[in-house]
Amino acid sequence: MKNKKIIIGSRGSKLALIYAERARAELLKNTELENIEIKSITTSGDRITDERLSKHGGKGLFCRTIEQDLLGNNIDIAVHALKDMPAEETE
């Protein structure tokens, strides 16, 4: 398991990347994992800059792309900033 590469997916915002780096540091400290990469992901919410996000689905826009990467096995772990999460849990 030491040489297995683990990919943490996170939104590219400064706050989300801080949380992803903290998660990475905890994994390095508390496991035998050594190869942990952080993948910065541009979400739908990041791309919409000229309209209100509520027109397109609100806060879920900041996590949907990351969740799809997790379900598609493109990343192993998803780390979000809580402020980007919708109030209701998705299926």
pLDDT tens digits, residue range 31-90? 988 899 999 998 765 665 665 655 555 556 667 888 889 999 999 999 987 666 656 666
The residues pairing with 11 across neighbouring beta strands, listed in sequence order, are 41
More confident site: 67 or 3: 67
State residue 87's pLDDT score.
Answer: 60
State residue 80's pLDDT score.
Answer: 81
Pair of tokens at residue 6: 């683990």
Residue-by-residue DSSP string for 1-69: -TT-EEEEEEESSHHHHHHHHHHHHHHHHHSS--EEEEEEE--HHHH--SS-GGGTTGGGGGTHHHHHH
Question: Torsion angle, CA of 46/50/53/54, rounded to 10 degrees?
Answer: -170
Q: Is residue 1's pLDDT more than 80? A: no
State residue 26's pLDDT score.
Answer: 96
Residue with tokens 């900041």: 62
Mean pLDDT to the nearest integer, 6-11: 94
